């Protein structure tokens, strides 16, 4: 449910972040907050539907596309790579912190009669607290970046192109004066041919080999990672008789090594 919801959310946030980062982030954080409430209370009400719906809202709160867009739009070219590297590093740190919290929860003692706070529902309550703190700080301190600079850059570029075309036209008014003359034969490149060369359409995305290879590698990476994370609890229990705490410690070490 979570990855499927994230697929839908990515398209939505792709459009929404073109107009507002703040509102999109608040909506994503609120979705994760509400989803963890349902997930944590599902055992109390013995409802698999609450589990599925909670996981759906958690996936709908995936703000990765918003964060990537923010880095691409706000950071300068000189700082963009460093910002992307920090983003990946913090994501890996979060993947290590999740199993590490499972390792700590595995050492707690729970009341078997209390279905609200158990080793199963504890992750939901922990994430509910963390998302609540994040949402408060987001509303209080996050400022919408100035988008006028982006639009000014595009406008100035368009003006420059227009001025260059006008200058070519003004030069070409005198038909006896060629724009460019070849060293051998006197080949005159007219303003029309120059304009056609400048206005060359970019190839479609699926023809860009570098981008498609990168996307495919990213897909394989996530496939292997999700397979490892999803099956580790069952595999380690079956083969090594590991409990929740041991499996959480193993995944935390694996994530830190990655």
Q: Tell me, yes or no, whether 65 lies in a domain.
A: yes
- Tens digits of per-residue pLDDT, 20-29? 999 999 999 9
Name the band, by pLDDT with cuts 50, 70 and 90, for residue 156.
Answer: low
Q: Confirm if 43 and 120 have CB atoms less than 8 A apart.
A: yes
CATH code assigned at 15: 1.20.1250.20
Q: Tell me, yes or no, whether 164 lies in a domain.
A: yes
Name the band, by pLDDT with cuts 50, 70 and 90, for residue 196.
Answer: low
Q: Judge whether residue 180 has pLDDT over 70.
A: no
12 and 133 assigned to the same domain: yes
Q: What is the CA 93 to chain-centroid distance, rounded?
A: 16
- The rounded distance, in Å, linking the Cα atoms of 66 and 106 is 34
9 and 113 assigned to the same domain: yes
Q: Tell me, yes or no, whether 225 lies in a domain.
A: no
Name the band, by pLDDT with cuts 50, 70 and 90, for residue 111.
Answer: confident
Number of domains the chain contains: 2
Place of tokens 């990213």: 218
34 and 136 assigned to the same domain: yes
Q: Tell me, yes or no, whether 216 lies in a domain.
A: no
Q: Tell me, yes or no, whether 73 lies in a domain.
A: yes
Query: Residue range 156-168: average pLDDT?
Result: 52
Read off the tokens for 13: 């946030």
Higher-confidence residue of 137 and 167: namely 137
Q: Judge whether residue 174 has pLDDT over 60.
A: no
What is the span of the domain harbouring residue 107? 2-145
Q: Average pLDDT over the chain, rounded to whole?
A: 82
Task: Determine what percent of the chain is predicted with pLDDT higher than 90.
Answer: 38
Place of tokens 């529902």: 121
| Strand partners of residue 188 | 181
Q: Tell me, yes or no, whether 124 lies in a domain.
A: yes
CA neighbor of 71 nearest in space, from 6, 8, 126, 145: 145
88 and 54 assigned to the same domain: yes
């Amino acid at each position: 449910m979570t990855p499927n919801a994230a697929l839908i959310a990515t398209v939505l946030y792709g459009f929404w972040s073109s107009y507002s980062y703040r509102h999109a982030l608040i909506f994503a954080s609120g979705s994760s907050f509400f989803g963890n409430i349902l997930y944590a209370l599902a055992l109390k009400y013995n409802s698999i539907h609450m589990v599925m719906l909670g996981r759906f809202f958690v996936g709908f709160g995936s703000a990765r596309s918003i964060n990537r867009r923010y880095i691409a739009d706000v950071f300068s070219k000189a700082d963009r790579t460093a910002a992307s590297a920090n983003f990946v590093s913090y994501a890996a740190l979060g993947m290590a912190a999740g199993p590490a919290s499972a390792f700590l929860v595995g050492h707690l003692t729970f009341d078997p009669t209390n279905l609200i706070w158990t080793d199963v529902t504890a992750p939901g309550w922990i994430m509910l607290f963390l998302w609540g703190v994040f949402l408060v700080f987001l509303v209080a301190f996050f400022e919408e970046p100035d988008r006028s600079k982006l639009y000014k850059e595009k406008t100035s570029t368009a003006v420059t192109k227009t001025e260059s075309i006008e200058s070519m036209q003004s030069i070409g008014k005198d038909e006896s004066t060629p724009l460019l003359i070849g060293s051998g034969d006197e080949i005159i490149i007219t303003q029309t041919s120059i304009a056609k060369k400048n206005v060359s359409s970019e190839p479609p995305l699926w023809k860009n080999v570098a981008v498609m290879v990168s996307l495919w590698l990213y897909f394989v990476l996530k496939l292997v990672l999700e397979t490892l994370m999803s099956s580790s609890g069952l595999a380690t229990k079956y083969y090594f008789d590991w409990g929740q705490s041991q499996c959480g410690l193993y995944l935390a070490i694996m994530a830190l090594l990655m």
